[in-house]
Amino acid sequence: MTTWHNILGHAWAVALLAGDIRHGRVGHAYLITGPEQIGKTTLARAFAQALNCTAVAAERPCGNCRACRLIAADHHPDVRLVTPEISGRGKATLRIAQIRELLQALNLSAYEARAKVAILKQFDAANANAANAFLKTLEEPPPNVVLILTATDADTLLPTIASRCRTVALRPAPTPLIEESLMTRWQVKAEKAHLLAHLADGRLGWAVRASQDESRLQNRQKQLAALHEALAGARVARFDLAERLARKAEELPDLLRTWLSWWRDLALLAHGGDAASAAGDNGRYLAITNIDEQARLATCAAAWRPEAIVTSLRQTNLALWQLERNANARLVVENLLLVYPLPGEGEGR
């Protein structure tokens, strides 16, 4: 059940939103930003619950009243959750038809809520028409309506939209907090919790889902196996691999994000980092995330020039960017694999 108690690692954000309610200064629009699966939608639901909970003020959101239960299940008639539509290629898009349907609903009187709430997930996936249509509502919002947008970064939205929202920028949760929470709240075994907490890279939501769905770790192992196959192969073998991977273009973005994480760890080790670096100023641990790959990473860091590793990291990031803009999948992967170091390259440096 979604309540403030489910928001782990974002105490300051909870205090801000709860304070707005307590002091009667709730804004008409909020923008919650942060990496995928860091808890943006969970926080938005809890805020919607707190706005409409029927318990006494000091106990809101209670998580047990009719309003709280309906909002948690996305079934409340006055709280709308709008999510992007997914195309056949796996691209998420928030379309103008969805915005128009939402605006019609928001202009109707509330059935039972104190405040009508609209949660728009991944608003950075809105196309230009949808964003412009929504801008008019932000400029002249209906009475007694609270709009909550989520996005990875405020800079990905139109400045005219971001400037009309109160921004709540969520920061990654510390690895030890995620590990402890997995063991105590979700009863995940210590060894698995340790691995997931590192792989999560500050995203508690990802860690929880991965702990409940074995296919996520299994899929990651397949993605890493493809990377290791590429790194062990000569150019001809890499062209064959690129052809195979491109047949499932919709899976490439997730695969490349896994590869990007691996190269990030390798770059960290190549530039003097280690698997147990001290926490930085924001409480995050500058340690490698793929801790089960530590031995292989150490071998590669010792064998390859740091410049080659950084180049591979940047090219992987560029490949992701290109795929998001509908570039030819096979060409993107071929170009990427041609940049990666070849077997034996750089040994003895």
| Number of domains present in the structure of the chain | 2
Domain harbouring 276, CATH code: 1.20.272
The tokens of 25 are what?
């200064």
179 within some domain: no
Q: Cα–Cα distance between 156 and 215 in angstroms, integer?
A: 31
Residue-range definition of the domain harbouring residue 105: 4-169
Position 56, amino acid: V
206 within some domain: no
181 within some domain: no
Q: Cα–Cα distance between 68 and 326 in angstroms, integer?
A: 41
Q: Do 164 and 227 fall into the same domain? A: no
Tokens 């493809």 belong to residue? 226
Going from the C-alpha of 298 to that of each of 122, 228, 266, the distances in angstroms are 37, 14, 8
47 within some domain: yes
Cis-peptide into 343, omega within 30 deg: no
**Angle, helices 252-270/306-324, rounded to nearest 10 degrees:** 160
Q: Do 20 and 162 fall into the same domain? A: yes
Q: Cα–Cα distance between 18 and 79 in angstroms, integer?
A: 18
Q: Cα–Cα distance between 63 and 55 in angstroms, integer?
A: 9
Domain stop point among 111, 142, 169: 169
Q: Do 138 and 36 fall into the same domain? A: yes
Q: Do 143 and 237 fall into the same domain? A: no
Domain stop point among 117, 136, 169: 169
Q: Do 21 and 112 fall into the same domain? A: yes
239 within some domain: yes
3-state SS record for the chain: CCCHHHCCCCHHHHHHHHHHHHCCCCCCEEEEECCCCCCHHHHHHHHHHHHHCCCCHHHCCCCCCHHHHHHHCCCCCCEEEECCEECCCCCEEECHHHHHHHHHHHCCCCCCCCCEEEEECCHHHECHHHHHHHHHHHHCCCCCEEEEEEECCHHHCCHHHHCCCEEEECCCCCHHHHHHHHHHHCCCCHHHHHHHHHHHCCCHHHHHHHHHCHHHHHHHHHHHHHHHHHHHCCHHHHHHHHHHHHCCHHHHHHHHHHHHHHHHHHHHHHCCCCCCCCECCCCCECCCCCHHHHHHHHHHHHHCCHHHHHHHHHHHHHHHHHHHCCCCHHHHHHHHHHHCCCCCCCCCC
300 within some domain: yes
Q: Do 28 and 137 fall into the same domain? A: yes
241 within some domain: yes
Q: Do 218 and 163 fall into the same domain? A: no
Q: Do 160 and 261 fall into the same domain? A: no
Give me the pLDDT at residue 285, please: 44
Length of the chain: 349
> What long-range pairs does 326-330 form, CB within 8 A, spacing at least 24?
326/89, 326/91, 329/245, 329/246, 329/249, 329/252, 330/242, 330/243, 330/246
Q: Do 226 and 95 fall into the same domain? A: no
Give me the pLDDT at residue 90, please: 67
**Residue ranges in the chain whose pLDDT is less than 70:** 1-2, 88-90, 273-286, 346-349
Q: Do 126 and 259 fall into the same domain? A: no
Is residue 83 within 8 A of residue 121, CB to CB? The reply is: yes
Give me the pLDDT at residue 280, please: 39
Domain harbouring 139, CATH code: 3.40.50.300
Q: Do 145 and 217 fall into the same domain? A: no
Is residue 202 within 8 A of residue 208, CB to CB? The reply is: no
317 within some domain: yes
Q: Cα–Cα distance between 117 and 71 in angstroms, integer?
A: 10
Domain stop point among 169, 192, 222: 169
Q: Do 89 and 228 fall into the same domain? A: no
